[in-house]
Amino acid sequence: MKNNKKWNKIAIGFISTFLWGLGWAIIVGYAVGGTKKMWSIVQPSIAFLLLTLVIWVSYQLIKTRRWTNRFNNAWEEFMIKRDVEEYFPKLDVLEKTYGGQFLGKMPANEYFICTRISALKSAGRKEDAYALLETALKEVTSDQAILLLKSEKEHWD
């Protein structure tokens, strides 16, 4: 995740520098050659920015799809084998990808806590699942996670 933040900072720095340069180029172009000169600078710059935006959005979508496929494959494998010891390390790797970001309406770590509780319960380890549920209720902070965990506790069978 730290590496991803590093690349985000580099991209934002590059875009910021480009926009400042474009602004100064427009000002100088207008001062030197008028509107015609300014448009000869603006048009390729807008095309470059749009191309950069399309590439960045495509990259983010590909990255999200790859992560989702890994998550779904791990869940499918768990549902076949019901092996929590094999499933949880895969969840740990996927959780590190998102770090402190949000998945839906809750932080990724709280989302994965709910997933672990569900997996433990599905694997027949209800005592472990309930213990994790009790611990999680004390630790979670998002409203959505609290609502989900309290609902799970109410309907515990």
Per the model's pLDDT, the better-predicted residue between 157 and 89 turns out to be 89
pLDDT band of 140, cuts 50, 70, 90: very high
- For residues 30 and 37, give the distance between their C-alpha atoms in angstroms, rounded to a whole number: 6
Work out the percent of the chain whose per-residue pLDDT is above 90. Answer: 48
Task: Label each residue of the chain as H, E or C.
Answer: CHHHHHHHHHHHHHHHHHHHHHHHHHHHHHHHHHHHHHHHHHHHHHHHHHHHHHHHHHHHHHHHHHHHHHHHHHHHHHHHHCCHHHHHHHHHHHHHHHCCCEECCEEHHHHHHHHHHHHHHHCCCHHHHHHHHHHHHHHCCCHHHHHHHHHHHHCCC
pLDDT band of 1, cuts 50, 70, 90: very low
Residue with tokens 């790797």: 93
**In the predicted structure, residue 3 carries a pLDDT above the cut 70:** no
- How is residue 38 written in tokens? 């300014």
The model carries a pTM of 0.69
Per the model's pLDDT, the better-predicted residue between 71 and 25 turns out to be 71
pLDDT recorded at residue 126? 93
| 52-67 residue pLDDT tens | 878 888 988 998 899 9
Q: Which residues contact 75 (CB under 8 A, 6 or more apart)?
A: 87
